[in-house]
Structure 1
Amino acid sequence: MEKELLQQILAGIQDLKKEMVEVKTEQKETSRRLTSMEGKLQIIYEQTGKLTEYHTETIENFEHLATKEDLTYFDKKITEHDREIFKIKNRA
């Protein structure tokens, strides 16, 4: 009877050891995947930073572009100047 009990306890311990090995293996795989994800996350952070800089530069460039009102003004001024030049040339 004692021998059977010891065999059952030993079998239980062996099962626990097997399960522990499986858990350790799964934990190593989880750690590997986490490390991989951290690397990818760092790349995403860097790319997001670059995109933010690019977006800021683009918005700043838009601020320096001529507006519709500016173009209308330039069109009228050029027309006026062309007319004045034409008048001056025709007087001579």
Structure 2
Amino acid sequence: MKITVVGSHLCPDTLYALCELRKKNVEIDFKNLSASLDGLKEYLSLREGLEIYKDIRANHGIGIPCFVLEDGRKTLDLDEVLAK
């Protein structure tokens, strides 16, 4: 299984998720928003159009880490990803 993790190396939740996924030997494609303004712009554009970010936008949050599954589905729930 390969998971794309969108987050930041400055975010403790992202670092925790990366560690947990590595423990499960999940292949990870990490998109570090802190390292790329183009990546950050792309993420913010994506975030504005997804229902899973409704509450996060309302609370002025960022919404990371975000997980993109192999089938293209996006989730913010690490437990859901680890259960696969």
TM-score, with structure 2 as normaliser: 0.20
**Which structure shows the higher strand fraction?**
2
Using CA pairs under 8 Å that are at least 6 residues apart, name the structure with larger relative contact order, 1 or 2. Answer: 2
**Which structure shows the higher helix fraction?**
1
TM-score, with structure 1 as normaliser: 0.19
